[in-house]
Amino acid sequence: MKRTAKILALLLFMIVSFNTFNVKAQRPIHELHSMLIFNFIKYIEWPDDTKSGEFVIAVYGDDDVYTQLSNLYNQRSIKGQTASVVKVSDVASINNAHLVYVSDSMSKDFDDILSKYDTKPTVIVTDKSGLGKKGSSINFREVGGKLKFEINKATFDNSNLKISSQLLNMGIVI
């Protein structure tokens, strides 16, 4: 299992180094989002007071991303904690997550999610143009037929999260 994860991480790193994914490529977009999220976590450091209990990844609005992340993470160790990938159906049920993925279809609730997690050490990953500048930690966007991601450095700083310079170099810093 560890070898497969390392190979996947290396492959993804090589691809992300070019900072683009062809959106029309053979892989479905939910797989690309899931693989990127899987690797984002490796380049982010959470505060010490969040390093007990489960490492919670909440998926809001995309069953395919939920299934893919569950297959990658559920009951595995992330940064010394047991991973728990949860599918949520409303903002109120998103509790104490380390990372929240908000699909394009649920972006109407972004302001509520942002106000709930504004200064908490939670990475909010979105998939709708404009949400990176609005306060999302990481936002997927298509540029010239390629999947790229924006990183809102101020959001990371305000949430007491440390992001590696390697990840910053791979994304579009806003």
The predicted-structure confidence for 63-97, as pLDDT tens digits, reads as follows 999 999 999 888 799 999 999 999 999 999 888 89
Look at residue 167 and tell me whether its pLDDT is greater than 60. yes
Domain ranges for the chain: 2-173
Are 117 and 124 a contacting pair, CB within 8 Å?
Answer: yes
Query: Average pLDDT, stretch 11-21?
Result: 46
In the prediction, which pLDDT does 152 show?
97
Q: Is the separation of the CB atoms in 10 and 16 below 8 Å?
A: no
Is it the case that residue 130 has pLDDT exceeding 50?
yes
Residue 106's CB: how many other CB atoms inside 10 A? Answer: 21
How confident is the prediction for the chain on average, in pLDDT?
88
Question: Which superfamily does CATH assign the domain made up of 2-173 to?
Answer: Response regulator (3.40.50.2300)
Residue 7 clears pLDDT 80, i.e. is over it: no
The predicted structure's pLDDT at residue 26:
65
pLDDT, greater one: 81 or 26: 81
